[in-house]
Structures are given as structure tokens and as C-alpha cells.
Chain A
Amino acid sequence: MDTESILELKNITKRFGNLIAVDNVNFELHAGEIHAILGENGAGKSTLMNLIYGLYQPTDGSIHISGIQKQFRSPRDAIANGVGMVHQHFMLVENLTVAENIALTVAKFSSRVGKTHPRGEINPSHKGNSNKPKLSKFRYKTDEAIQITESLSQQYGLTVDPTALVRSLSVGLKQRVEILKALAVDARILILDEPTAVLSPHEVTGFFNILRKLKDDNRSILFISHKMKEVLEISDRITVLRHGKKVYNGITGELSTRELAREMIGEEVTEIERNQNIITNDIVLNISNLTIRGNRDEITVKDLNLKTFRGEIVGIAGVDGNGQRELAEAIMGLRPILSGKVEILGNQPIGTRNIRQCSVGYIPEDRRTMGIITSFSIAENLLLNVPHLDNISKWTVIDQTSKFKTAKKLIDNYDIRPPNASIPAAALSGGNQQKIVLAREISPQPDLLVAVNPTRGLDISAAQYVHKNMLTQRKKNKSVLLISTELDEVLKMSDRLYVMSRGKLLEATSHRDDIAALGLLMTGETDTNA
């Protein structure tokens, strides 16, 4: 591989007020390499990427593309220079269809494609590009947009319905659209912010093949991930950030997983101890013949039966968009039930309010919109459910002293940073926002805890903390329903295991040691011997 650098950062520093998010980082990205950026939440990975993508301007230092110093005032400049980004929080127009979103990007930047490489090291009109469908200049034509989307989908194996509204797509599918969008403008440098978080193992393999294809195409990829295994599998080089500083840079394979983890968090990672559970016959959650409709009126959960008992963690694995979100929402009374019933501790509470009062905790999939209110302070967010609010108030007046006392206790116990109860949750990192949700939902020790992707986006130590808390619940003879797209997590945590696929639950406890069989179940195969 040639070591010509396509992107170079020199002494980049980014300050936000008193906070130094990125501290004097030097960094080089070679043409045609996959470069992984590792780091805990708040280590400065996202900030660094946003600097490259022009969302932020560096406080100090310079950015060079193919040896020429550049200044990106906005993502528009970055895209014009061949930098594409797939964000962790999607940048899609929710009320448009997939094809319209793609067309929007293509139309906006089509005039710039081809100008990305003024020195001509790379031939911009590489093969396959010439017979690509094109957009009309002045009129938007639906079928053209659909054609473009479909040809891109096929080329890279990212299947998605071009006519679907983005709003109605699951997180996993939205991400596919984001990837397609970046590919649609022919980015030479592709920044992927945790791209695999929502993909199934099978999809990840396919996705990595795409990345390799892109790499063979002499495109460079910046790959941000928490998952060590993936980083080791796909990347050529690794850079580790800690507290905004670059602490390691080297060729993949130089350091072991354990050594990399130590670089990341500065200390040794410990494995969680997991005791055998006491099997009980105390039913906590009893779902029978449950059928639910999704956002587009399609049946997303069909005739589902599930029981959870005290003292166990029941795991539901599966690729995003197979009805998991709808199932959790139906349990919580946030989605109407078409038929069947949900019993909690023998009752059939109606409405989220009553369900909440049956000692049910809920960690929703999307913490930023469902878990917290970003404009509320930490203390206020820690009150955000009916039983909490009732406990802390007398004659509807909220007791301020106990509000702050509780907040302080939870902030200490859950290590929420910064430890200031009255600052708005918007000022916190994603991991700390999630800790607010956890503190609120787990601390009352609910009889039933419904957790959907509770560790998504969390760093290793925070994720471990979540797992420890779930195990404590289990030890205290409570019931936990863990719905997660991360197979590792479900395998590690659950006593009984299911795979959810196309709205159906498939028994999978017997396959827990057979990843291949689980993968097949997740892709919808019921015959695991196939």
C-alpha cells in the first residue's frame, strides 16, 4: 500500500468554552486505508470527525486534503472536497422518502463531484460511474430518484425500500439510507460514526465487504467504533483517543484487545461475574397472542407469546426493525394492541400511567426523545415518570429538598458527569444522558425492567455498569426483559434467549453457543440445521 496521505490534521485543537474537546491532535489518513478511531464516550472522537466534516471549525491547527491546506466553513465545503460522513444521529429529512433523501443530496452536490481531485491521482470517472442513472437538472422525477437509489442499493447490497418515508424506518434502516447518501455523492473520504451499532452479525459481514470494496476503490474510511472485535477485523490502522488527546497510533494487530482497551480507558477491563440464577415460577410479565401494528399500519408483531419470571433476564436478540421496538412500546402502553393481552404481575393495566404504577421500569430505545427531555435539568429528568413524581410531591407540590437530595444521590451512585443537578441534560454526553435514564428507571428496583438497547453508544465502563445493575435486579428476584441488537450483550446477560425475526419470537436458548445458528435465526431462517 502506498503511504500517501489524503487527509492530514496538524495540531488540531477544539475548545468549547473551558472544555478542551480535542487537544493538539496530529493525524494522518492514507489513501485507500480503513482507519479506526477508538475512544470512550467524550474522548473527542465525534468532535474530531465533526471538525473534518466542517461542522465545527478548529480553535487551532490546520486541515490538509491531499497536501493542500483547507478551511471547511460548513459540511458543504467538506463534501465538495470529497469528505462524506454517516452520523451517529442521523441527518435525514424525516418527512421525505428514501429516494427523495438520496436525490436531495445528489442534486445538491452533483455539480461538485469530479472536482474532488484536482491533481488527478484518482480518476474520478471510474468504471460503473458512467452508466449510473442521472437526475434531471430542473425537474424532480420520482422514478429517476428511485432508480438512483435502487442502483446504489444493489451496488453495495444495502437493501431499503426507496418509496418508504424515512420517518417510518427503523434506526437500522435509517442508517442504511445515511450510508447510501454518502456513497451517492461519491465521497473519497468516508467518516463512519459507529456504523455497525445497529447491524446484525450477518449484516456486519456484508457491510465489511462493502468497506473492503470501497477500500479497493482507493477510498479512505474513518471508522469510529466501540467494538474492539470489529475494529481489529476491518481496520488497517488504529488511533486511540483519550480525553481529547491522541494516546496511541499504530498498525492493527500491534496491540491486543486487552492492551487497546487499556489505552482507551487507562485501566484494565474487568469481566463481570455472573452467578447461576434461582429458577422461579413467579410470572412477572405474561404476553399472550399479542399482535401489533407498526407505524405504517403493517403487522409488526404477530401472535407473540412470552413469559418472564422473577429472578431472570430474558434476552431478545435480533436485527433492528423486526418488531422489537413495537413490542417494547406495546408492553409500556405506548402503542395500541390489535389483539392479545399483556399481563403484568397478574394485572392488565391500561395506559402507560397505570403500567408505570405496576412497578415497571423502561429504558427506551431512543433516549434523546423518549428517555430524557434535553431542556430539563438533570434533577428534573430524574423525576420523569409517574411514580417518582408522585413520591416526591405532596398535594401536587414538588418537594425541592428531596428532589435535589435524590438527584445528588443518584448522580453519585451512577456517576453522572458533570455532577451538577441543575444543568440541562442537553449539556451532557450521550453516555451520561443514558445514565440519567438508568438511574431513574433502575434505582426504584422495579419488578419488571424493559430495556431496549440499553448500552447503545455507551463506552465500555458505562456499559459494564448497566450490565452490573441488571444483574443486581436479577439477584434481587426481579425480572428483566433485555431487547438488544447487540448479540454479545444478549448472550452475556440473558438466562433465556429469544431471537425476534419478522415479528415472531424464536426460541434460541439452545443455540447460545452456536453463533452461526443464531445468525441464521436472526436473518429469518427457522431451520437452524440448514
Chain B
Amino acid sequence: MPNFPDSYLKAKHYYLSIMEKSPRFFQWIVTPSLILCGAFFVNGIIILLCGYNPFQAYVAAFEGSFGSPRAIGETLVKSTPYLMTGLSVAIAFRCGIWNIGAEGQFLMGALVATFFGTKIATLLPQSTWISIPICLLLAVLAGGLWGIIPAVLKVARGVNEVISTIMLNYIAIHFVSLMIDGGPLQEASRTGPQSDPIAQWVTLPRLFESHRVHPGIGIAVVLAIILTFVLFRTTFGYQLRAVGEGADAAKAAGFSVAYNTIRVFILSGALAALGGAIELMALTPRLTENFSPGYGYTAIAVALLAKLHPLLTIATALLFGALSKGAFAMEAEVGISKQVTWMMQATILLFVIGFGSLSLLQKHHQTN
């Protein structure tokens, strides 16, 4: 063990002792707050070094994301893909499955929605009530199937899912490019690498005239609540957590690790794909190459910051949505580049990991 200064040891000791006394309060409130404060502080320094006033920047970011009903609406819109992919990652990680493939699953969902919205929906009656459910269902099926691939590789051949899902991400990204750049899904005029807009009756309607708030946000929140129930109140969730937190004990109890791995991968893939479909159907009528700015990867931070709890994921997704909305405001009003936001997200992730090791420390503390 390295020799830490006394002050650090004292602070750590203090932290751990409070943690022991009220672990819940700590887990849900104090630790996430400390992580955020730390990240804001570090980024504040960076903003300062760039020659801007960090307070001014943060105020602008806050106003830009929560300052008006319109801003709040836009923040909600931006949060939805984070929430869907975050839920996907949280469910998988809970089961001890390191699914890094939310990005690919997200894209496959969007791709299927595009295919349906541009090619199939035109053949069906022009009804929102028929087309939208079918489209969402197809995306869910596609995501589930995409999730089965790494699941089967893992169960049957022992392939590490981190590797297989990252590879599948590349496949998905380039498959999307192929489809919309010279492929069958490219727009009819063949001018750019993008698809035709999806049919009017496949787009998710806006709830208000003035901004882009759409019913997909509600779907995502309801899913988060349902998943919380599934995770903590059903035998499926119980087995899933048992496999994730004690695979040997789960096996001895008679739960099948393989079966649960496949189930969870399907669910995880379906959630991310649904997120992709919603994003496409609500916001961008066309599928483009930069459709996802890495939602599936950021989702890992979203889920980890939420301690893999679906309800908390709502909050962390909102935070990430606000950060990306706030980034526009910072750029517009203070002139700071949007890159700062990406740094912010990365810093948060680093802090999450740092504090994660502290709670591991606490586990060690308890078992001894």
C-alpha cells in the first residue's frame, strides 16, 4: 500500500465511518453529489485555464438546460436516448454481463425503424395507431436478436462479451453506413449518405407546438419504473441479480447462468434498440451516419453513476441530457467549445470509478 498523507487517511476514515452509519443515505445522496462536485470542480479549472469564467459558464449551462419550459423540454428530449441506453446497460451489468454493445443495439433499432418507416409503412394503411406500435415492436425484436449473438457466443463458446459486443458495435456502425451510403436505404435522390425521411405516420407526434417533447420520454420513464419492479420484485429480477452478484451461489441454488445470460442480453439489446427507434421516430426523420454521438458508450457512465438502479438512471440520464443541452448554451453565450461537455462526462465517469473503489473498500471492511 502506498503511503498516503495523514489528512487523506483521516478523510477516508471519516467517509467510511459515516458510510457505515447510514449506508443508504450515502449510496443514494452523498456519493453521487461528491462525484458531481468533484467533476464540476475539475472542469471549472479547465474552463478557467481556457480563459473563461467557470461560474458564468455553469450559470449559462444551467439556464440553457433548466431556465425555461422550452429548455426543460429540450433537456428531456436529449435525456431520452441516455435513459434508454442507460437502462439497457444497467440491466446487463446487474447480471454481471458487461454489455458494451448498447451503441450497436441502438443503431440497429434505428436502422430497423428506418427500414420500416421508409419501405414498409408506405405499403400499410396510413394510420399512426398501426404503424408506430409495429415499428417499435420490430425495433425491439431486432435489438433482441442483435443481443442474442454475443449471448450465444458467451454461453456456447465462452467468448468474452466485452470483446464481442465492441466488435458488434463496429459491425452495426458500418452496416448502417453501408445501408444509407449507396445501400438500399439511401435516399431516393442519392445525394448524400442518409436515408429518406420516414413516413409521416411513423413519426412520434409532438406533445406541444413549441418544442420537441414527444411520448418517447414517457415510454422511457415508464420502462424505468417497470424495470425497477422487475429487478427487485420478480423472480426474473432476483435470478438476474443473483447471477450477477454471486454466480456460484446462484448455480448452487439451481438457477441457470446460461439461461439468464441469454434472457438478459435479449432484454438489454431490446431496450437499447427501442431507444434508437424512438430517437429516430421522434426527432430525426432521416437516418444519418452521425445518428448517435456515442449514446451507447455514454450509457455506461449513466448506468454506473446511477449505481445500476433503473430509477436513479432517470436522474443520471437527465443530468447527461442537461449537460449536452447546457453545452449548446455555454457555446452560444460564453463561447466555450462543446468539447468541455464531453470532458465533463468523462471526468464524471472517472470520479464514479474512483468512488466505486471506495465502496469496494467498504465491502472489504464489512466482510472482515
Contacts and interface: CB of A to CB of B under 8 A. Distances in A.
Interface of A: 16-17, 46, 50, 55-56, 73-74, 76, 332, 334, 351-353, 355-357, 362, 364, 366, 368-376, 380, 383-386, 389-390, 393, 396-398, 400, 424, 426-427
A384 B21 contact: no
Contact of B253 (A356, A426, A427): A356
Contacts, number: 93
B206 to A, nearest CB: 36
Nearest to B21: A17
B246 A356 contact: no
A222 B17 CA distance: 30
A426 B239 CA distance: 19
A451 to B, nearest CB: 13
Interface in B241-260: 241-242, 245-246, 248-256
Interface in B206-256: 233-236, 238-239, 241-242, 245-246, 248-256
A397 B245 contact: no
B252 A371 contact: yes
A373 B238 contact: no
A16 B254 contact: no
A74 B2 CA distance: 10
B368 interface: yes
A383 B239 CA distance: 10
Given A17-B17, A369-B246, A362 B252 contact: yes
Interface string B337-368: 00000000000000000000000000100111
Contacts of B250: 373, 384
B188 interface: no
A353 B20 CA distance: 37
B191 to A, nearest CB: 51
| Category for how many chain B residues contact A | 20 to 34
16 contacts: A46-B368, A56-B368, A73-B1, A76-B1, A334-B251, A351-B256, A357-B254, A364-B252, A368-B367, A371-B252, A374-B367, A375-B363, A386-B255, A389-B235, A400-B233, A426-B366
A383 B252 contact: no
Given A352-B254, A370-B252, A426-B363, A398 B238 contact: yes
Contacts of B249: 369-373, 384
B252 A374 contact: no
Interface string B15-32: 001001100000000000
A369 B255 contact: no
Contact of A396 (B17, B236, B367): B236
Given A17-B17, A385-B254, A375 B233 contact: no
Nearest to A388: B253
B204 to A, nearest CB: 31
A386 B253 contact: yes
B251 A396 contact: no
Interface of A is mostly: mixed
Contact of B1 (A46, A74, A334, A424): A74
A374 B249 CA distance: 10
A362 B233 CA distance: 25
B251 A374 contact: no
Nearest to A76: B1
Contact of A376 (B21, B242, B367): B242
Given A383-B238, A389-B238, A398-B235, A373 B245 contact: yes
B300 to A, nearest CB: 20
A372 B234 contact: no
B17 A353 contact: no
Contacts of B252: 332, 334, 352, 362, 364, 370-371, 385
Nearest to B363: A426
Interface of B: 1, 3, 17, 20-21, 233-236, 238-239, 241-242, 245-246, 248-256, 363, 366-368
B235 A393 contact: yes
Nearest to A15: B17
B47 to A, nearest CB: 39
Contacts of B233: 397-398, 400
Among B3, B246, B366, the one with the most A-chain Cβ atoms within 10 Å of its Cβ is B246
Contacts of A352: 251-254
Contacts of B20: 16-17
B284 to A, nearest CB: 38
Given A386-B254, A426-B363, A397 B248 contact: no
B368 A55 contact: yes
Nearest to A87: B368
Contacts of B234: 393, 396-398
Nearest to A354: B254
Given A50-B368, A362-B252, 17 more contacts: A17-B17, A17-B20, A353-B255, A356-B254, A373-B242, A374-B245, A376-B241, A376-B246, A384-B242, A386-B255, A389-B235, A389-B239, A393-B235, A397-B235, A398-B235, A426-B366, A426-B367
B68 to A, nearest CB: 42
Contacts of B254: 351-353, 355-357, 385-386
A458 to B, nearest CB: 17
Nearest to A424: B366
A169 to B, nearest CB: 17
Contacts of B363: 374-375, 426
Contacts of B248: 366, 369-370
A269 B13 CA distance: 41
A73 B249 CA distance: 35
Nearest to B20: A17
A374 B366 CA distance: 10
A358 to B, nearest CB: 11
Contact of A372 (B3, B21, B246, B256): B246
Given A50-B368, A353-B256, A376 B235 contact: no
B293 to A, nearest CB: 34
Contacts of A396: 234-236
A74 B3 CA distance: 10
A46 B246 CA distance: 25
Given A55-B368, A370-B249, A400-B233, A380 B238 contact: yes
Contacts of B255: 353, 386
B245 A375 contact: yes
A374 B246 contact: yes
A424 B246 CA distance: 13
Contacts of A393: 234-235
A60 B328 CA distance: 55
Nearest to A356: B254
